[in-house]
Chain A
Amino acid sequence: MLTTFRKVLVANRGEIAVRVLRSCAELGLHTVAVYSEADRNALHVRYADEAYSIGAPPAKESYLSIDKILDVARRAGAEAIHPGYGFLSENEQFAQACQDNGIVFIGPRASSIAAMGDKIAARKVAKAAGVPTVPGTDGPLATVEEAEAFAKKFGYPILLKAAAGGGGKGMRTVRTPDELASAFRLAANEAKAAFGDGTLYLEKLLEGVRHVEIQILGDRYGNVVHLGERECSIQRRRQKLIEESPSTVVDEDLRRRMGEVAVRVAEAVNYENAGTVEFLLDRDKNFYFLEMNTRLQVEHPITELVTGVDLVVEQIRIASGRKLRLTQRNIVVKGAAIECRVSAEDPYNDFLPSIGRITHVYEPSGPGIRLDTSIYDGFEVSLYYDPMIAKLIVWAETRAQAILRMRRALEEFKLVGIRTNIPFHLRLMESPTFIAGRFDNSFLDSFNLAASDESGEHARLAAVAAAAVAYQLKQVKSRKVDGAQPGNDSAWKLAARRAALRLS
């Protein structure tokens, strides 16, 4: 049964809205964007065929408003909605409301979202399917006291998690009993703010493990395939920062076994469309089900680069009722891909958000580079949304080449006007631990921006640069006082240009 559609509404913003619009455009679909008052100038508004305002900047009043988005879909005559990630992408009421209004939701069934969206219920599903899970509570925690009792039972450290969680929000590590009460409150508040539900559960914190996830695709005829793994252990405060595929510790056999388990989890909830099954992998190659994300992941491009599959195109095909054209046998992982999440966070000020105008963007390009972003010259980084502003993704034939390529691309990537975590990524790409691939998900807890081998030379250059800028500023100022031509060209700069002309 094909449910062909010609007009798709993208219920999201930022880089993911742009990324989805691109695949829609390539499929010849008409596109509809929605935007908050803060996003009138955004690329997704400009790239879509139609764009509709849906309210004030806070997400609750715009990107999280089911009524407003469905109203736009009706007015624009959109026959399908792609939710992207975040916002309404894992909201079963939204998926159900789309269906009730005769609109195709480009994602899983509402029942699958519900089954996996409640992380407590998801653990039960996995257990029932015979998949090992991390030790933890089987139900929600009503009070801090209850959390204390469970923490005592499993032993510290423990991890408090939001039942409605995702993307690392509403999650706190607790190492000692006296940290529990404050962590409980902060996690519950954060979960309530991010998901509208402050319910928490807890798991024993497994240490020395990696976060490895499997991408799956399923159609409505019960065919499910996996597209290999993504290594996501490089995390800061439970937020993924760097992802790569393949993982340095996953061999062909482990990939097959993890893939089969992921497929089994998907089948247990009658899964349709793209999804990701997250696992913790220990040193002995035992893996434990963590959760299933019933949406496109932020880090999906690395899978696209190593498999050659456009996941958004597959999502749209599946949603229109087509059978999967991929079989497990013809999915081959080739080469190596790495993604760096570039955010407006200042690595030199405890990663606090850096708000303001990006006056200029110099994008990396050339062989093997993919940049998924929504920024442009003059882009305002606002407080309302996630600080991630770009995903820099590279592909190369080997992991070593991919690391070198990423370094080159990070050096080319210049964002002027705000601070970003690009220097942090650059330093990570030089870290022997990262290069050797010998890390677990605690790697960044102990990684800091200590001096590099070239620190002495860099300090000297920095001194020259700073003094030269100070000198130049002073020259300009004194020439202004003299009544000379104002401008940012100092005499010696002009002279250098003249000299260059003479030479040529």
Chain B
Amino acid sequence: MKYYVEVDDRTFELDFQEEDELLYVHLGESRLTLDLRQISQPSLYSLLVDNRSYEIFVEARGDEFNVLIGGEMFQLKVQDEWTRRLANIQRKSGVETGELAVVAPMPGAVVAIEVSPGDEVKRGQGLVILSAMKMENEIKSPRVGRVKSVDVSAGQTVEQGRTLVVLE
């Protein structure tokens, strides 16, 4: 089974094979013997690559993967050959909308709202102040735009991922 992994600006093509009850992967010129064990749910793994031992964190969400190895974090996109083909077809028909929901990057309490619907905002302009763990964090606008709606109010507790403000 072939896999395509995008990380930073590189794409790796990996081909997995099970042979004599062992797992091998072809990567470029090399053929590596793998032994992967999950040590702890949800994310800690032990990986032996040709007997070299690594302890790594792997977080998977759909085809988006985060891998922490040797104190470095990588964001990767992993697709098997079938998914990749499907994604290529879909991308051609995809439409981008002008709306952008700014969400809470962490759970917390809304301290203040700094914008109102209709406001023009600059990139980096403060939208909402969230307080978590006694620290106040200003949630800034990721781009230029106009505030379409403010979806929270001061004093409200919000979960991670909750929409705070919608830009258009």
- The residues of A with any CB-CB pair to B shorter than 8 Å are 169, 182, 186, 189-190, 193-194, 237, 347-350, 352-355, 359-360, 362, 383-387, 410-411, 414, 416-417, 422-423, 426-427, 430, 449, 451-452, 454-455, 458-474, 488, 491-493, 495-496, 498-499
**A464–B133 touching, CB < 8 Å:** no
Tell me how many residue pairs across A and B have CB atoms closer than 8 Å.
Answer: 189
Chain B: interface size category? 35 or more
Interface of chain B, main secondary structure: strand
Give Cα A475–Cα B81 distance, bound, in whole angstroms.
15
* Residue of B21, B49, B126, B160 with most partner-chain A CB within 10 A: B21
A414-B57, A469-B65 are known; give 5 further A-B pairs, CB within 8 A: A348-B73, A386-B133, A462-B69, A464-B47, A465-B54
B27, B34, B70: residue with the most chain A Cβ atoms closer than 10 Å: B70
Interface presence of B144 (CB below 8 A): no
Distance A360 CA – B42 CA, assembled complex (angstroms)? 9
Partner of A469, one of B45, B73, B134: B45
Of B8, B16, B66, B72, most A-chain CB atoms within 10 Å? B72
| Chain A residues within an 8 Å CB radius of B80 | 470-471, 474
Contacts A/B (CB < 8 Å), 20 sampled: A186-B136, A348-B73, A353-B107, A355-B160, A362-B44, A383-B107, A383-B108, A410-B71, A414-B40, A416-B57, A454-B72, A461-B47, A463-B76, A464-B32, A466-B74, A467-B78, A469-B45, A470-B60, A470-B65, A488-B38
B7 partner residues in chain A, CB cutoff 8 A: 459, 462-463
Contact of A194 with B134 at beta-carbon distance under 8 Å, contacts A468-B34, A468-B36, A491-B21 already known: yes
A contact patch SS: helix
On whether A360 and B108 interact (CB within 8 A), knowing A464-B49, A467-B3, the answer reads no
In the complex, what residues of A have CB within 8 A of residue B42's CB? 359, 416-417
Q: Are A473 and B107 in contact (CB under 8 A)?
A: no
Question: B85-111 CB contact bits vs A (8 Å, 1 = yes)?
Answer: 000000000000000000001111001
Complex contacts, B108 vs chain A, CB 8 Å: 353, 383
B60 lies within 8 A of A473 (CB) = yes
Report whether B12 and A460 are in contact in the complex, using a CB–CB cutoff of 8 Å.
yes
Question: Could you say which residues of chain A place their CB within 8 Å of the CB of B69?
Answer: 458, 461-462, 465
CA distance A491 to B23 in the complex (A): 9
Q: Is the CB of B45 within 8 A of A467?
A: no
Q: Which chain A residues border B47 with CB–CB below 8 Å?
A: 461, 464-465, 468
Contact indicator B25/A464 (Cβ below 8 Å): yes
Enumerate chain A residues within 8 angstroms of B70, measured Cβ to Cβ. Answer: 426, 452, 454, 458
* Interface residue from B43, B107, B160 paired with A417 (Cβ < 8 Å): B43
Contacts of B78 in A (CB 8 A): 466-467, 470
- The reply to whether A423 and B21 contact each other, CB–CB distance below 8 Å, is no
B14 interface residue, CB < 8 Å from A?
A: yes
- Chain B: minimal CB distance from A480 (Å): 16
B130 to chain A, nearest CB (A): 9
A341 to B54, CA, bound (A): 24
